[in-house]
Structure 1
Amino acid sequence: MSEHNHVVNKEGQTALGRVDAALDRMDDKAKDEILESFDTFKKYLGLRVELAENIGLSEETMAKAAERIGNYLAAKEEPRNREEKLLQELWKAGNSEQQHALAHMLVGLAQNARENK
């Protein structure tokens, strides 16, 4: 796949507008595996946060990406467990500022999950 389809290029520049398209390209089996349990979801997020940190993305950029992902999941995916249902309800109840704060918290959750392996 060419680099113009990716959210982050080799130089670490982000194109957050491509998040939805990247998620749409993910096959249903892969989504199911990631979302089947909250622990799996946290591990997946932890790996993505680690990759983002390794290429030098700021926490703010990661939170903006998490916001895009949160919007996508709230609109297009059914929660597969209680934790995801709670996150979806919190997401939908919040305004954009609250969603941004929750996105920061999810980045922190992913960092903590990675550190506590």
Structure 2
Amino acid sequence: MSEMNNINKKLEELSPEKKDQILESFSTFKSYLSAQLAKGERLGLSDDMLAKGAKFVADHLAKNEEPRNSEEKVLQELWKVADENEKKALASVLVKMVQAD
């Protein structure tokens, strides 16, 4: 579970300005997520662990951040109505989406 602690620490370390910069556009958000996933892959994290990390980040964003664009708003709305299994699936799909770019 130390990977989730590391993710939480990184989220807490982001300045409000950096968060705004990342969340300003969906393209920038995807690029940031892609870079973070690449780091995880280099560390040898499995796709399952990467999806768990994406779910953790999505939970954090849903609870603590307002959507900055229409794509983030759709993701937030989907997240609100999804059960745990659906959230895991959404996180996996998000990981695949940014890996495919």
Under TM normalisation by the shorter chain, which class is it? over 0.9
For residues 17 and 50 of structure 1, the distance between their equivalents in structure 2, rounded to whole angstroms, comes to 18
* Superposed counterparts of 1:1-117, under 5 Å: 14-113=2-101
- 1:66-94 deviations in whole A, cap 9, x for unaligned? 11101100000000000000000001110
TM-score (norm 2): 0.92
Larger radius of gyration: 1
Look up the SS of the partner of 1:80 in the other structure. Answer: coil
Of structures 1 and 2, the one scoring higher in RCO (CA 8 A, sep 6+) is 2
Shift of 1:17: 3.7
Shift of 1:18: 4.4
Give the share of equivalent positions with the same residue, in percent: 42
The verdict on how the C-alpha distance between 1:21 and 1:50 changes in structure 2, with shifts beyond 3 A counting, is: closer
**Which 5+ residue runs of structure 1 have no aligned equivalent?**
1-12
User: Match of 2:32, as an amino acid?
Assistant: Y
TM-score (norm 1): 0.80
User: Match of 2:58, as an amino acid?
Assistant: G
Q: Tell me which protein shows more helix as a share of its residues.
A: 2
Look up the SS of the partner of 1:15 in the other structure. Answer: helix
Two-structure CA RMSD over aligned residues (Å): 1.4
**Which 5+ residue runs of structure 2 have no aligned equivalent?**
none
